[in-house]
Structure 1
Amino acid sequence: MIFNILINLAAGCASALMFGSLVSGAMISVLLFYLAPLPLMVAALGWGSAGAAIGGLAAALGLGTIFGLPYLAAFLVTIALPAWWLGRLALLGRAAPLAMSPSGGPSTLEWYPVERILLWIAGLATLTTVVMLFTVGGDSNSFTEGLRNSLIKVLSESSSSPRGDIEQLATALAAVAPSAGALMAMMTLTVNLWLAGKITAMSGHLQRPWPDLNALTLPPMTLAALSLAVAGSFLDGLPGIVSRAATAALMMVYALQGLATLHTLTQGSRNRTFILGSSYALCMVFGWPILLAVAFGIAEALFGFRRRFARQPPPRAANDD
């Protein structure tokens, strides 16, 4: 018991140090900031989400004591809350229906689906982005104007371009900030949860079997939610900001389904390594090819490519039995 508490407190301290490293201004602090949820997620997956919640709360109190209330709130909303909740969801399981052992007890467990965990990540990414953006201003107009003024100040100090060009660029960046923030939050939480799962699995502490990520299939209502978010993104004020953030997060979810489909359809192909490697490289280097993955994921949801074109195992001969 004491050992588990110490592990969770150590995870909280590590996350707090990585989160607070931004005040140093060093380039490495940006990477540490994005990896800040990782220690708490490892603690949640390996030693239980309740302990991770305690570690996260202790870390937030420490940050609040040193740096003030804004750091406490930011750490709770962007790091501790997602790490605790996603860890809790990943460890949820129930007895599988119609699967009983000879002794009468359940023989297997159904674990919380990865698809729903991804949708929760999209929701958390939207929530944290909107909350953090609105710390710049109390309402949508104050937020947009405050962010625009901040960007103008930063760009003016780092660029010798004319004032008019800087103002236009700042206005454009402020307009896409909700989408960009949600996209980064979605990627950060997803990558950290995957890394936490790999680390705990390698250490032998992962409390659930590793899921088949290639079988990722989003619920049908996800496409309806994306359609509503796209329509709402044309609104003004808070509804438009929330909708643009949700649109970016849900598009990233469909991009992951598109990549899962690519993994499935290339199974057995001689060029599988080249196809997958070049696809990931193009997405990471240029960025825009991720839109092709989004389109592929939506097409998979509509037409079921994996069900139709995935390579089937060869039929068994009659004398194999």
Structure 2
Amino acid sequence: MTFSKLLIAAAAGAASALLFVGLVFQSGSAVTLALAAPIPIFIASLGWGSVAGLIAAIVAAGVVVAISGLFSGGVLLFVSMSLPAAIAGHLAGLAKPAAEPETTLPAPAGAQPGLEWYPPERILFAIALMSAAACIGLGWYLGYDVATLKPEIMDALRQSNSTGQINDVEIDAVASLLLSLVPLVQPAILTLILAVGLYLGAWVTRVSDRLPRPRDDLPTSLHLPPIALAVFAVGLAGSFLSGPAEQVALVLCGAFGMAFTFVGLARLHARTRGRSNRGLLLFVSYAAITILSFPLFVFTCLGVYDTVRRMRAGPPQTP
């Protein structure tokens, strides 16, 4: 590895750490910056190789520990964002020689043997799986305990309820609801951060002419393998249990539910192509998701339906 690549990897790791360190210090204004922490690592991995991405991930965690003095802060960044970003960037850079079609027809004039790149559906599956594993691992490492967190959340709700319009019974109910949603929402947000970060990182790397992978047509190529449906079904079934098993199942539901939502949104983009009102349909759909949130469930179902439909159709037939 050349010195210039090592320097770029270290700079990318430092940039990721600076974006994330505000969250370690519990600064509310730095939450938005923390969401962009994986992007420099994606850029390093996609543009300068998998080793550069891994070095950037390690440097990012080390810089956070050095700035904050908290080892847990470095672990939080490394497990949740840095390492998954380096792995996803590595997967996006994998390619092999494309298989030649079994046909006796002559090849087109000027045709060159191409490469078969790692499919987007497997990258999305890996992101969802890493998000779930990161949330489960961090929950175990940080000691996630509903009984311990509930009094703190109730105190925060009491402080925000300065007018006294909500009594203690209602505050207890709201705190219980929030705690029950944490194992579901947290992995979903992490899957969203990593997937969008990979897209933005690939866009920046492509603009700088450093991305060897050609642009994927995501509206038509973004799917999920059948095993994702099985994992999601196991998560749904386990959510009816109690205790740690329920929390692990909710983590799986959150991570893979967001992945299926991406597939559903990709189908929306694909089916609205060529329509005169496409811009309006996309604007209304994303505005409804942003304002109301529950339309996400519709696109999750659409993503599940797409996976079931492709399973029934079987593997594509080669001519």
TM-score class, shorter:
0.7 to 0.9
TM-score in terms of structure 2 length: 0.87
Aligned pairs for 1:137-152 within 5 A: 137=143, 143-152=145-154
Give the SS at the match of 1:94: strand
**1:184 positional shift:** 0.8
Partner of residue 216, structure 2? 211
Unaligned runs of 5+ in 1: 308-321
**1:162 positional shift:** 2.3
Partner of residue 87, structure 1? 89
**1:150 positional shift:** 2.4
Aligned pairs for 1:7-156 within 5 A: 7-23=8-24, 26-66=27-67, 67-98=69-100, 107-137=113-143, 143-156=145-158
Paired with 1:87 and 1:156, the residues of 2 have a C-alpha distance of 44
Inter-CA distance 150–35: structure 2 relative to 1 (3 Å threshold): same
**1:65 positional shift:** 3.0
Match of 2:175 among 144, 162, 170: 170
Asked if 2 retains the 8 angstrom alpha-carbon contact of 1:136 and 1:146, the reply is: no
Asked if 1 retains the 8 angstrom alpha-carbon contact of 2:125 and 2:225, the reply is: no
Q: Which moved more, 1:144-153 or 1:284-293?
A: 144-153
Could you say what the CA RMSD is over the residues aligned between the two structures, in angstroms?
2.1
Higher relative CO (Cα under 8 Å, sequence separation at least 6) belongs to 2
Unaligned runs of 5+ in 2: 314-319
**1:118 positional shift:** 0.7
Asked if 1 retains the 8 angstrom alpha-carbon contact of 2:24 and 2:73, the reply is: no
**1:9 positional shift:** 0.7
Paired with 1:90 and 1:21, the residues of 2 have a C-alpha distance of 29
Paired with 1:250 and 1:63, the residues of 2 have a C-alpha distance of 29
Partner of residue 297, structure 1? 303
Superposed CA deviations along residues 52-103 of structure 1, whole A, max 9, x for unmatched, are 211221221222233221112112111221111011111011111226999x
**1:273 positional shift:** 1.3
Inter-CA distance 83–303: structure 2 relative to 1 (3 Å threshold): closer
Partner of residue 318, structure 1? none
Partner of residue 238, structure 2? 232
Match of 2:193 among 188, 191, 213: 188
Paired with 2:251 and 2:207, the residues of 1 have a C-alpha distance of 34
Superposed CA deviations along residues 90-120 of structure 1, whole A, max 9, x for unmatched, are 1011111226999xxx811111110011111
Paired with 2:175 and 2:142, the residues of 1 have a C-alpha distance of 15
Paired with 2:28 and 2:75, the residues of 1 have a C-alpha distance of 24
Inter-CA distance 39–74: structure 2 relative to 1 (3 Å threshold): same
Partner of residue 315, structure 1? none
Asked if 2 retains the 8 angstrom alpha-carbon contact of 1:136 and 1:143, the reply is: no
**1:186 positional shift:** 1.0
Asked if 1 retains the 8 angstrom alpha-carbon contact of 2:19 and 2:34, the reply is: yes
Paired with 1:24 and 1:194, the residues of 2 have a C-alpha distance of 28
Give the SS at the match of 2:116: strand
Inter-CA distance 213–25: structure 2 relative to 1 (3 Å threshold): same
**1:27 positional shift:** 4.1
Partner of residue 311, structure 1? none
Q: Which amino acid is the alignment partner of residue 53 of structure 1? A: L
Q: Which amino acid is the alignment partner of residue 60 of structure 1? A: A
TM-score in terms of structure 1 length: 0.87
**1:26 positional shift:** 4.5
Number of matched pairs = 298
**1:253 positional shift:** 1.5
Give the SS at the match of 2:202: helix
Paired with 2:161 and 2:304, the residues of 1 have a C-alpha distance of 40
